[in-house]
Amino acid sequence: MRYLQFLSQMHEIVDPGTYLEIGLRNGNSMSLARCPAIGIDPDFTVTAELVAPVWMFRTTSDEYFERPEPLAPFDGRAIDFAFIDGLHLFEFALRDFMYVERNSAPWTVAVLDDIFPRNVDEAARNRHTNAWTGDVFKIIQVLRERRPDLTLTLVNTMPTGLLMISGLDSKNTVLTDQYDDIIESTVKPDPQDVPAEILERHGVITPEEALSLDFLKKLREQRPGGGPEAEKRIAIVPRRPLAGPVDVVRHPAGGTPAASAKKTAPATKTASTAAKKTTVPGSGKMPAKKKKKSFASRVRRKVLGAPKK
Ligand SMILES: C[S@@+](CC[C@H](N)C(=O)[O-])C[C@H]1O[C@@H](n2cnc3c(N)ncnc32)[C@H](O)[C@@H]1O
């Protein structure tokens, strides 16, 4: 089974109320979302048709999660389901997981892409192949050693496997506390030493087995509003202002144009204007607060037509 097919079925089973994706590219994986979603990528060109209300941020995950309220688009709700598929370097994948966990709930499921390089070249930190996993595979061993409390499920999807992580704890500081030590002991120059157990995918289960794991249903049941409330969730609109630049907001309820989001032509005039007004060029830092109406309230009025609260 290919990873997108697996993710599509995960969306059905997990039935998240909130979805966050790091690494959008063309939006192929984001197009599977059916609930309010946040997408983060400094260089996306979304061409896939998006169905969900998606807030797309043209920035790095590091910058995004430095913002004071990264969950503002979800009105402060935790991430129910995350797909981590940003920069394929170990330390980035680790930090991306740490960001997701910090904003997680006990029922959150995170999936990381590209954990099984098929050869040493694909695993190189300096990319020189078309298909590229980088050294993301190292996160398996690090989490096994440092976070035995997490449940790791290795899934044998094509082309390069997925790691499903559950049992997240937003208060756990082990990875933050040990971050420098982890990086020093794990990040090595090329060529990478890829263990046979990675190349041969030891310990994997089939995608079908993963999709039928009982704990996925149990996690969903734990979540307030899980399951039958799904129809209502599509209407979530953040009530708190979004801090920082936002590139594109796409909400089907507002009848905004299709989800194509290119650097030069953001999908909505409102979003484009907001991005220009709130970005501090070259700083990557939060702009000073302005007195005018919040971006979220302008979106509600101009794009969504929802009454202001
Ligand atoms: C493999 S692609 C994502 C593919 C997409 N998830 C899919 O399956 O359709 C990786 C993406 O990560 C983005 N990326 C690179 N560095 C990043 C960072 N620091 N933060 C977030 N995204 C990043 C790249 O711009 C690229 O579009």
Ligand 1: atom nearest CA of 3 is: 8
Domain assignment of residue 120, given as a range: 3-230
C-alpha 42 to ligand 1 mean position (Å): 8
The answer to the question of residue 49 being in a domain is yes
The CB of 44 under 6 Å from ligand 1? The reply is: yes
pLDDT in the model for residue 285: 33
Residue 111 contacts residue 119 (beta carbons within 8 Å): no
Confidence of residue 282 (pLDDT cuts 50, 70, 90): very low
Bridge partners for 163 per DSSP = 112, 154
Closest Cα to atom 3 of ligand 1: 23
261 domain-assigned: no
Instruction: Give the pLDDT confidence of 180-217 residue by residue, as tens digits.
Output: 999 999 999 999 999 999 999 999 999 999 999 999 99
Identity at 240, one-letter amino acid code: R
Ligand 1 near 61 CB (within 6 A)? yes
- Average pLDDT, integer, range 139-144: 98
Quick check: is 284 in a domain? Answer: no
From atom 20 of ligand 1, which residue's Cα is the shortest distance away? 60
Looking at per-residue confidence, does 130 or 281 come out higher?
Answer: 130
Residue 160 lies inside a defined structural domain of this protein: yes
In-domain check, residue 293: no
User: What is the C-alpha separation between 259 and 267, in angstroms, rounded?
Assistant: 6
Q: What distance in angstroms lies between residue 182's CA and the mean position of ligand 1's atoms?
A: 23
Q: What is the 3-state secondary structure (H, E, C) of the chain?
A: CEHHHHHHHHHHHHCCCCEEEECCCCCCCHHHCCCCEEEECCCCCECCCCCCCEEEECCCHHHHHHCCCCCHHHCCCCEEEEEECCCCCHHHHHHHHHHHHHCEEEEEEEEEECCCCCCCCCCCCCCCCCCCCCCCCHHHHHHHHHCCCCEEEEECCECCCEEEEECCCCCCCHHHHCHHHHHHHHCCCCCCCCCHHHHCCCCCECHHHHHCCHHHHHHHHHCCCCCCCHHHHCCCCCCCCCCCCCCEEECHHHCCCCCCEECCECCCHHHHHHHHHHCCCCCCCCCCCCCCCCHHHHHHHHHHCCCCC
294 within domain boundaries: no
Task: Tell me if 107 CB under 6 Å of ligand 1.
Answer: no
Cα–ligand 1 centroid distance for 89 (angstroms)? 11
User: Atom 1 (ligand 1): residue with closest C-alpha?
Assistant: 85
- Residue 266 Cβ inside 6 Å of ligand 1? The answer reads no
The pLDDT tens digits for 83-100 are: 999 999 999 999 999 999
pLDDT of res. 276: 32
Mean pLDDT over 50-78 rounds to: 93
Alpha-carbon distance 190 to 288, whole Å?
42
Ligand 1 atom closest to the Cα of residue 43 is 25
Say if ligand 1 is within 6 A of residue 46 CB.
Answer: no
Nearest CA to ligand 1 atom 14: 86
Ligand 1 contact, 85 CB (< 6 A):
yes
Q: Is residue 168 part of a domain?
A: yes
Q: Under a CB-based contact definition with an 8 Å cutoff, are residues 19 and 82 in contact?
A: yes
Distance in angstroms (rounded) separating the CA atoms of residues 154 and 111:
10
| Domain count along the chain | 1
Ligand 1 mean position, distance from CA 286 (Å): 22
Whether the pLDDT of residue 60 is over 80: the answer is yes
From ligand 1's centre to the CA of 139, what distance in Å? 17
CATH number for the domain that contains residue 48: 3.40.50
Is the C-beta atom of 151 inside 6 A of ligand 1? no
Q: Considering the domain boundaries, does residue 252 fall inside one?
A: no
This prediction's pTM: 0.81
Is the distance from the beta carbon of residue 28 to the nearest atom of ligand 1 less than 6 Å? yes
What type of residue sits at position 48?
A
Residue 231 pLDDT more than 60? no
Instruction: Kindly tell me if the per-residue pLDDT of 34 is higher than 90.
Output: no
Mutate to test the pocket of ligand 1, among 45, 85, 129 (most ligand atoms within 8 A of CB): 85
Mean pLDDT check: name the lowest of 54-63, 205-214, 234-243.
Answer: 234-243
Give the pLDDT confidence score for residue 225 in this predicted structure. Answer: 72
